Structure 1
Amino acid sequence: MAAVLVGQFHARDAEGRVYSVHEFENLEATGDQLVTTYKLAIGDRVKKNDDNNFELVQSGVILVREPSPIVAV
């Protein structure tokens, strides 16, 4: 089964560069458990360390998730 885009957010590295991270869900090979994966918009793989910290798999650069904007109503 193909991965489905379920979210996207921005994250920054220590030097302040902003990365667009996409969150995907797909069924595991057994077909009974959802697996969440992360990739940059340009396709680089991202590993989730905890809720707000991520790591670029290829380079090891640590990314910190930007807080979601609060919209006043």
Structure 2
Amino acid sequence: MAAVLVGQFHARDAEGRVYSVHEFQESTPTLDGLAGAAPITSYKLAIGDRVEKLEGDEFKLIQSGTIIVRESVTTLAS
């Protein structure tokens, strides 16, 4: 199982600091070796810190508990 970068976006915290967030998808193989039905999506900061998706455009930095809000523009990985 390998995580593939599928997108990147910026998010801001309450103080206005900008965070670069990377979005990954990981397929889960089934017993017959084919990809599973629903890929798992995970998020990390560009510096490697884990990010938890909350509701809508809100995310939480796991280490600090800081809430960040996604900005509207998303860049897709090619």
TM-score scaled by structure 1?
0.86
Bigger relative contact order (CA 8 A; separation at least 6): 2
Deviation at 1:68, TM superposition (A): 1.7
Deviation at 1:29, TM superposition (A): 6.1
Check if 1:10 corresponds to 2:10: yes
| Alignment equivalent of 1:47, drawn from 45, 52, 56 | 52
Spell out, residue by residue over 1:14-60, the C-alpha distance to the aligned partner (whole angstroms, 9 max, x if none).
11000000000002365513100000000000000022000001110
The residue that corresponds to 2:66 in the other structure is 61
Q: How far apart, in 2, do the equivalents of 1:53 and 1:4 lie?
A: 22
Q: How far apart, in 2, do the equivalents of 1:39 and 1:19 lie?
A: 10
Aligned residue-pair number: 69
Q: Which runs of 5+ in 2 are unaligned?
A: none
TM-score scaled by structure 2?
0.81
Q: How far apart, in 2, do the equivalents of 1:39 and 1:28 lie?
A: 19
**What amino acid sits opposite 1:16 in the alignment?**
G
**What amino acid sits opposite 1:17 in the alignment?**
R
Q: Which runs of 5+ in 1 are unaligned?
A: none
Identity %: 65
